[in-house]
Amino acid sequence: MPRSRISSAPIRTGTAGWSIAAGHRPLFAMGDSMLATYASRFAMAEINSSFHRPHRRATYERWADAVPDAFRFSAKLPRTITHDQRLRAAGPLLDAFLDQAGGLGDKLGCLLVQLPPSLAFDGRMAATFFAMLRRRWAGGIACEPRHASWFAPRVDALWQRHRVARVAADPAPVATAAEPGGDPALRYWRWHGAPRVYYSDYVADALAALAKQVAATTPRGSEAWVVFDNTAHGHATPNAAAFQALATR
């Protein structure tokens, strides 16, 4: 039976969702549900389904009850906010989402804001949105912009002012996107699979390089979250487990 990796270590490793292929079950201790089994090894999970559809507050409460006290979730903002409204006039949508996700209680550790590739940086729009989000949520916020304009030096002040971590993504839309930025209290990586997004496996050398990057760029006292989103062929689970072993040496 594998030993639970959940501890006070500053690196939280996991996957987008908590599906586990039958061949990867030996990596986990048996739990009462798929989520409980997943949480026997990993200390976090990213809720991506919230991007596509709302969940009842009772569903979030059930998920919170299935995991240990030290476990944390990252919940992805709905596409209605980021893609349909494009961050504008999103107050009522934010209120509804946060009321639902609030069912996670203290186990909601981070909100993920993934922006569409077509959304260019607009300082007034971005400042209004993140100020509105900050008034409603005091915890971690990670943003994954995908338009090159969000990586200009002038955007750094926005991240710092609203305490937002800029996601380090692979594959990176621009070179700077491969490095974490923004609020140093939170470092957040999303590895989607490269060269084929969602499908490609990561070899040992890539995972070792990532472990070194996480260690080198996470300040003492800060949290690092590392999420593998290459789920289409099931590579996320073994990649996360292999990275976890490297990061805890």
Residue-wise pLDDT tens digits, 34-62: 999 999 999 999 999 999 999 999 999 99
Please, what are the domains in the chain?
11-247 (3.20.20.410)
% of the chain residues with pLDDT over 70? 96
**Average pLDDT over every residue of 189-213:** 97
pLDDT exceeds cutoff 60 at 222: yes
Give 42's Cβ-side CA count (13 Å radius).
35
pLDDT digits (tens, 9 = 90+) for 91-138: 999 999 999 999 999 999 999 999 999 999 999 999 999 999 999 999
- Contact (CB, 8 A) for 60 and 103: yes
Provide the pLDDT for residue 5: 37
> Which neighbouring-strand residues pair with 16?
46
Decide: 72 and 12 in contact? Cβ < 8 Å: yes
- Across 79-101, b (16+ Cβ under 10 Å) vs e yields ebbbbebbbeebeebbeebbebb
- pLDDT score recorded for residue 85: 97
The whole-chain average pLDDT of the chain stands at: 95
Of 40, 16, 7, 65, the residue nearest 197 (C-alpha): 16
pLDDT at 12 over 70: yes
Residues linked to residue 224 through DSSP beta bridges, in sequence order: 11, 187
Q: What is the mean pLDDT of residues 66-95?
A: 98
Contacts of 25 (CB under 8 A, 6+ apart): 37
Q: What is the pTM of this model?
A: 0.94
pLDDT in tens, 239-249: 999 999 999 76
Selected residue with higher pLDDT from 8 and 54: 54
Can you give the pLDDT at residue 249?
Answer: 65
Q: How high is the pLDDT of residue 10?
A: 74
DSSP 61: H
> Does residue 60 contact residue 101 with C-beta atoms inside 8 Å?
yes
Dump strand ranges (E) for 192-247.
223-228
CA angle (59, 60, 65) in 5-degree steps: 100
Average pLDDT over residues 142-162: 97
